[in-house]
Amino acid sequence: MTTTPFDAAALAQYVDHTLLKPEATTADVEALVAEGHRLGVYSVCVSPSFLPLDLSQAPGLKVATVCGFPSGKHHSDVKATEAARSVRDGADEVDMVIDVGAAIEGRYGDVEADITAVRAATPKPVVLKVIIESAALSDEQIVAVCRAAEAAGADFVKTSTGFHPAGGASVHAVRLMSKTVGGRLGVKASGGVRTAADALSMIEAGATRLGLSGTAAVLSGLEAAEGY
């Protein structure tokens, strides 16, 4: 008997069920929505060109999308325009990518201004998540970028796009991000979270949302651990 307080249904409510591969098709996205509804996830996350989604068979499912993805090397006004279009097309949440190079150079004011521009284009109740590519940053840079995201009015900080060669989420980065934002912002662990053990370790470290592409496998692993 595991000591985890989570069953599969509870864990599913942490999940942004994600499909961001460039070769994804309309049929793939339709299958994602159907699977997300069946699994009971919090949201599906898709590329903005797939919006709006048909949720007639998936009531209650939230829609997330990405902005400035995956490089973050877009002008802030372009990111803002992209994000605003996505909201008009039905996105409830927007996951934007910062200019990671600006963070590495210590230009945190530019990082904050970039986030501020997207926040202005996506006023609450739209949820704005800020992807920082934590694996490419030092601890000092992670802390500074999280502070910039909070100052700019973001709702979440997020580890990774899942496309950066430096890697995805780590327990250390999630713990540091969680400590920095102190519960004032959410923390999304994304990139390389492939098993139930991975998911639970991220939550234990402070993640309040998980970005998963292999959601069914993660949830089935938890069910197996629970003896379902």
List active site positions.
Answer: 95, 158, 188
Contact yes or no for 53/90 (Cβ under 8 A) = yes
C-alpha atoms less than 13 angstroms from C-alpha of 159 in its C-beta half-sphere? 30
SS3 content of the chain, % helix, strand, coil (to 5): 45, 15, 40
Contact yes or no for 202/171 (Cβ under 8 A) = yes
Contact yes or no for 212/180 (Cβ under 8 A) = no
